[in-house]
Structures are given as structure tokens and as C-alpha cells.
Amino acid sequence: MARVRASASGLFPLLIVGVLALATYWLQKVVDFDGVASKGAHRHDPDFIAKNMMLERYDQSGALRYRLNARAMTHFPDDDSTELESPQLRYVRPDRPTRISARAAWVSADGVEVRLHGDVLVVREARGERAEFRLTTERLTVFPDDELARTDAPVRFVEGNSHGSAEGMVADNLKGEFRFLNNVQATIERKKS
């Protein structure tokens, strides 16, 4: 019977295989959430990013309704949502041109709802005898196709020499109406007759 003598150089490959097996087991446990291995379907990772993007929406007659620009657009396939960096939404209606900007926004999968947040600014340009209207808030939900917006956050507004603040607001750009919800404090300049 021959004696087999193990040398350190002969055990080294077995040691490496053993370490790799332990590392693989540990890595599997780290990425195994709630006992179910993640295959990426439950992760909120982007599938594409576009830089300096522009989107235009036209009405049925072919006239431009609004234009959306953003420094970056990131799409997430898990919920089909989109995030925008430095979005600027501009309604180009000649009777009521309006611009809305913010630091960031979230867009629903169907594009119906846009949630702007961070330094939100709404500007309705001056027209005729009507002065420019400016509104600032920290968050605003916009429904672009319906030209509706709302927030429950504090808002500040200025129109000519009129100015004020409120807790929350609902706006209809098609009708040119702003309704302030709670704790409204305002100084309104009366129109001269």
C-alpha cells in the first residue's frame, strides 16, 4: 500500500475552490430578498436615460399644445414611470401662454399625471390689461392634457401689484382660474374703472 503525502501546493487549489463556494453561497444570501431570489423584475432600475430631451404634444388639428423640455429623462420599466431632471413645461396657447418649471418631476406610466417638486414656478404671461401671474411652491401635480394643476403645499403668488400666500391651490389653465384653498392671505390691487 502506497502512502499519499499531501503537500501545501496540492491543497491550495482545493482551498481556493472551497473559498469560492463559500463566497458564492454568501453572495446568494445577500441578493436573496425574503427568500425569493431577485431576477431584476422587482428592482427599480432604469432601462434608458435620455439627455436634453424635448417632447411636443399636438391637438387634433395639428396645432402645438405644449412642449416639455428636461435636462435628463430616466425611464423605469418596473412601473413604467419616468423621472425628469429640470423639467420645463410650456403651454403655447396664444390666449393664455403658461410656463411651469421645477428641479425634478415624476411622470405616470400613461403620461396623464406629472408630479413636480423642488422650486416649482408657474408663470402665466401678461396679456392685454392682465399682468404677468407668478406662483411658487415646493410641489405641484399637473395633468398636462387637461391643463389642470393642484397642490396642498404652501403657495406664494404675485400678479402685478397683487400678491399673497395660501395653503394649497387648484388651477384650470383652460378657464384661466386659480382657486386658493386654505389660510389665504392676500393684498389685491383693485382695477381702475
Q: Is the per-residue pLDDT at 189 higher than 90?
A: no
Q: Is the per-residue pLDDT at 50 higher than 70?
A: yes
For residue 119, which of 138, 142, 98 has the smallest C-alpha distance? 138
Distance CA 101, CA 123 (A): 9
pTM reported for the whole predicted model? 0.72
pLDDT in tens, 51-101: 999 988 888 898 888 898 999 999 888 888 899 999 998 988 777 788 999
Percent of residues, the chain, with pLDDT higher than 70: 77
Distance CA 188, CA 190 (A): 6
Q: Is the per-residue pLDDT at 119 higher than 90?
A: yes
pLDDT level of residue 193 (50, 70, 90 thresholds)? low
Residue by residue, what is the 3-state secondary structure of the chain?
Answer: CCCCCCCHHHHHHHHHHHHHHHHHHHHHHHHEECCEECCCCCCCCCCEEEEEEEEEEECCCCCEEEEEEEEEEEEECCCCEEEEECCEEEECCCCCCEEEECCEEEECCCCCCEEEEEEEEEEECCECCECCEEEEEEEEEEEHHHCEEEEEEEEEEEECCEEEEEEEEEEECCCCEEEEEEEEEEECCCCCC
Q: For residue 135, how many C-alpha atoms fall within 13 Å in the half-sphere facing its CB?
A: 26
Distance CA 126, CA 122 (A): 13
State residue 71's pLDDT score: 96
Is the distance from CB of 98 to CB of 74 less than 8 angstroms?
no
Average pLDDT over residues 165-181: 89
Q: Is the per-residue pLDDT at 41 higher than 80?
A: no
pLDDT in tens, 152-164: 999 999 998 999 9
Supply 4's cell numbers.
499519499
pLDDT level of residue 30 (50, 70, 90 thresholds)? low
Spell out the domain ranges in the chain.
8-37, 48-187
State residue 117's pLDDT score: 96
pLDDT: is 181 or 35 the higher one? 181
Which CATH code fits 48-187? Answer: 2.60.450.10
Distance CA 150, CA 115 (A): 10
Q: Is the per-residue pLDDT at 35 higher than 60?
A: no
Q: Which amino acid is present at 132?
A: E
Buried b (16+ CB within 10 A) or exposed e, 156-166: ebebeeeeeeb
pLDDT in tens, 104-118: 999 998 889 999 999
State residue 164's pLDDT score: 93
